[in-house]
């Protein structure tokens, strides 16, 4: 396997782990009697998985699969869409 394929596969795996952490955190937070310990552990896991995904994005940038300036513009564009179509802002 070449390095680019390995990078992409690991990135996919890390994204999947972040998805799972988000799902579990929603489940813990949505319980009638919130278990504060589970919630705290879920937040730690979310942060760890988000950091892993950020690491992979950084590696893709270093390998020039992603252009940092282009990505910055796309992030701003996404934020504009979220302001328009979501309640996040």
Summarize pLDDT for 77-87 with one digit per residue, the tens. Answer: 999 999 999 99
Give residue-wise pLDDT tens across range 19-75.
Answer: 999 999 998 888 788 888 889 999 999 999 999 999 999 999 999 999 999 999 999
Domain extent, residue 45, equals: 3-85
Structure tokens at 24: 């579990």
Q: Provide the whole-model pTM.
A: 0.90
Distances (CA, A) of 77 to 54, 56, 70, 74, 89: 19, 22, 11, 5, 14
Q: How many domains does the chain have?
A: 1
Buried b (16+ CB within 10 A) or exposed e, 64-80: eeeeeeeeeeeeeeeee
- Whether 49 and 28 have beta carbons less than 8 Å apart is answered as no
């Amino acid at each position: 396997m070449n390095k680019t394929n390995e990078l992409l596969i690991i990135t996919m795996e890390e994204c999947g782990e972040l998805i799972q952490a988000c799902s579990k955190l929603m489940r813990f937070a949505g319980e009638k009697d919130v278990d504060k310990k589970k919630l705290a552990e879920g937040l730690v896991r979310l942060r760890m998985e988000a950091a892993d995904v950020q690491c992979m994005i950084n590696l893709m940038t270093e390998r020039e699969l992603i252009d940092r300036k282009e990505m910055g513009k796309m992030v701003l564009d996404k934020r504009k869409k979220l302001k328009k179509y979501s309640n996040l802002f």
